[in-house]
Amino acid sequence: MNEKEKAKKIINILNKIYPTAPVPLKHKNTFTLLVSVLLSAQCTDVIVNNVTKDIYPKYYKPKHFVKLGRKKIEKLIKRIGIFRVKAKSIYLMSKQILAKHSGKVPKTFGELEKLPGVGHKTASVVMSQGFGYPAFAVDTHIHRLAQRWGLTDGKNVVQTEKDLKRIFPKNTWSKLHLQIIFYGREYCKARECYGLTCKICTTCYPKRKKPIITKKA
């Protein structure tokens, strides 16, 4: 089975299980989506949503977070991992959006990635889920699954992203990114499937006997 055949089978399986792929991070606008994605690093979406449900009704613009200041932002997000680092990023990011972008979240990868605390993965999520631009946000979980499914032998998320964009049609990227995340959480778990038991793994590699040890991103 070549890459393109594998890609078609994967898309078919995921579309049957997840015909729709709702954005898992709750947000009020593009700016709060950006904040939530930043907060979600090394943290679950559930925890982020639980914390932000008490924040976004009142604070949802860059000027709100600049006015709050770092210490008050820390208090609001203290239940989230590395909250001090994230509070600093949110504060500085908000200041920069106000100063350089008239209070609006920039709509290009280049400008987004210049914001404090915003890397390529965060920018990809915002471009995709916030602005509807085809993007394939690859994190360590998607990197692991792509290796299990034989879609990449990349040693890092950058190479994996290139491989996935080459294999899958552009019009599937944004939905597929979410579908793969949902599928990994539910069926192809890091410490359960090992490339041997889930529907996609057994479809791609029906004769596989040994567990797959993936290269960390």
Q: Which residues are catalytic?
A: 121, 139
On whether the CB atoms of residues 38 and 90 are closer than 8 A, the answer is yes
- CB atoms inside a 10 Å sphere around CB 162: 14
Which helix (H) or strand (E) segment is 180 a member of? helix 173-186
Question: What is the C-alpha R_g of the chain?
Answer: 18
- The answer to whether the Cα torsion of 85, 82, 41, 103 is positive or negative is negative
Please give the single-letter amino acid code of residue 139: D
Find all residues with CB under 8 Å of 164, minimum gap 6, and list them. Answer: 136, 138, 142, 146, 151, 152, 173
Asked if residues 180 and 21 have their Cβ atoms less than 8 Å apart, the reply is no
How many Cβ atoms sit within 10 Å of the Cβ of residue 10? 24
Q: State how far the Cα of 37 lies from the Cα of 201, in Å rounded to an integer.
A: 29
